[in-house]
Amino acid sequence: IHGELAYLESGLGVASPRAVGDRQIIATNCDLDDDLQAAIDNAHTGFVRIEITGTCSGNFAIARDGIELRGVDGANIVGSVVLDAARNTRIQSLSITGSGNTLSLNNYSTVPLILATIETVNGDHHAVTAWSSKVIAGWYSVIRNHTVDNSGSAVLLTDTSSLEYIGRNLTISADAGLSAEAVRVYSHSRFLMPVTDGAVSIVANALETRRALVVGPGAMFSQSLPGRLNIHGNLMSAGGT
């Protein structure tokens, strides 16, 4: 078929790519031992969608632009994903669960989260961490720190990073035994809600300390969701606005 190239090595540890026009789509079935990291590393330049089936276990790295990780039929990653100078990355219809920092962005990386669930089950770490990077989230995505105790956050923004809500609902939550913190915004970073569509819930559930949102020195929290911003826990300013 003109414009389409298929390889049928799926199940042999090699992902199955096909090209549609100038866009490459790679089918990766981790339940059949396809290698997700190899699919990322071997993708051609330009926009590439990696369609993930099954459960991929491991710590995965993206250090290039234009990679989309899209889940199929409830796919999930158990481990972590690190973006390093990876712009125009996208995570859609995918669950990522880790026992450390689950999704980390460094060096001006950018990622939209669409129909995604990002969770850490270790309270000393964060579900989403951004250093000099941008997270764009909405469309029924969930970011969660779920643990017995919690000294980390569901979301940590630092070093001029930003989290921007794009509509259609977003939930950020921290559930812990004694102390919980949902969002920490530090070091001239920004948490922005410029649209009025849908609702945002920021929830901290704990027996003692419940910090839903902490805004540190030079940081900013801005929202345009009157009546549709739900905060359960304390809103704290530590020098921010």
Q: Are the beta carbons of 116 and 91 closer than 8 angstroms?
A: yes
| Interval 209-225: pLDDT, tens | 788 999 988 899 888 76
| Interval 34-43: pLDDT, tens | 999 999 999 9
Q: How far apart are CA 188 and CA 186, in angstroms?
A: 6
**Which pLDDT value is given to residue 15?**
56
Q: How far apart are CA 78 and CA 97, in angstroms?
A: 5
**Which pLDDT value is given to residue 2?**
29
241 residues of the chain, pLDDT tens digit each: 223 323 223 333 445 555 555 679 999 999 999 999 999 999 988 999 999 999 999 999 999 999 999 999 999 999 999 999 999 999 999 999 998 899 999 999 999 999 999 999 876 789 999 999 999 999 999 999 987 665 678 999 999 999 999 998 999 998 876 778 899 999 899 999 887 788 999 998 877 778 899 998 889 988 876 668 888 887 765 555 5
**Which pLDDT value is given to residue 115?**
97
